[in-house]
Structure 1
Amino acid sequence: MGYWIWMIIVSLLAGVIFGPLARLVLPGKQNISLGWTILGGGIGAFIGGLIAYFLDIKDTDGPDWIQYLIQIVCAAVVIAIIAARKPRAT
């Protein structure tokens, strides 16, 4: 159980980095706040971490680039969903 709590905490912290990165790879302008960007990045990082865990992508000696890529893609999907559901400012 400690692993999952640690994963949630790390995912929310990763949202600070992965959220803005995910917005960079998305086309167009997303009318969402920085808070929604970080939250969406954290949720995407958590989902991506779960996918990497179940695909048996283990920790390596260096950076886990495949896991990071999966997390950024998931963060981009979550942010795209959040941006589509938020009403547009006129």
Structure 2
Amino acid sequence: MTNQPFIPPIHPGEILKEVFLDSMGVSQRAFARSIDVPANRVNEIVRGKRNITGDTAIRFGLVLGTSPEMRLRLQAQYELEKARDESDPDLGKKIKPVVV
């Protein structure tokens, strides 16, 4: 095992903020209006407090020209990395295969 520094997973909301909103000069409120959702939904996603759902991924895709699948993959990747980081290091020893 290598001693690599811990790099926390990046929530897809952070990517939305940095790559799209900030670089295009679009406020969270204006973006929320453009995708017809409450501003607090976008704010919670940007702050990593809310996951991107299928509905939200479709809305993002329509406005940003990206695929909803890409948004959902980013969310799934984030959740998996976070689960790995938070999981019990001895989990592999505790899991027993089911014999059928």
Structure 1 length-normalised TM = 0.30
User: In terms of Rg, which structure is larger?
Assistant: 2
More helix by percentage: 1
Using CA pairs under 8 Å that are at least 6 residues apart, name the structure with larger relative contact order, 1 or 2. Answer: 1
